[in-house]
């Protein structure tokens, strides 16, 4: 992005995307992210963390 000036961007808000389909629903880790791998086995989940997204504003 040559020539782009991002110095006027400011952080407005940050959130965690933690919808129910991304969470483990049973067991000891209920409510935690539904992991792709756990204990060396494929579990079919999405990730070991929830996605984070930002809202930026241009001043």
Tell me the pLDDT tens digit for each residue of 2-58: 678 888 999 999 999 999 999 999 999 999 999 999 889 999 999 999 999 999 999
Global pTM reads 0.73
Check residue 5 and give its pLDDT.
83
Phi (first) and psi of residue 42, to 5 degrees: -75, 125
- Hey, is 40 helix, strand or coil? coil
Check residue 4 and give its pLDDT.
82
Check residue 59 and give its pLDDT.
83
> Is residue 1 predicted with pLDDT exceeding 80?
no
Quickly list H helices, 1-59.
none
């Amino acid at each position: 992005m040559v020539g782009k000036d991002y110095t006027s961007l400011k952080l407005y808000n940050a959130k965690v995307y933690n919808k129910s389909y991304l969470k483990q629903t049973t067991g000891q880790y209920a409510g935690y992210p539904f992991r792709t791998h756990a204990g060396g086995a494929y579990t079919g989940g999405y990730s070991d963390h929830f996605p984070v997204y930002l809202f930026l504003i241009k001043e």
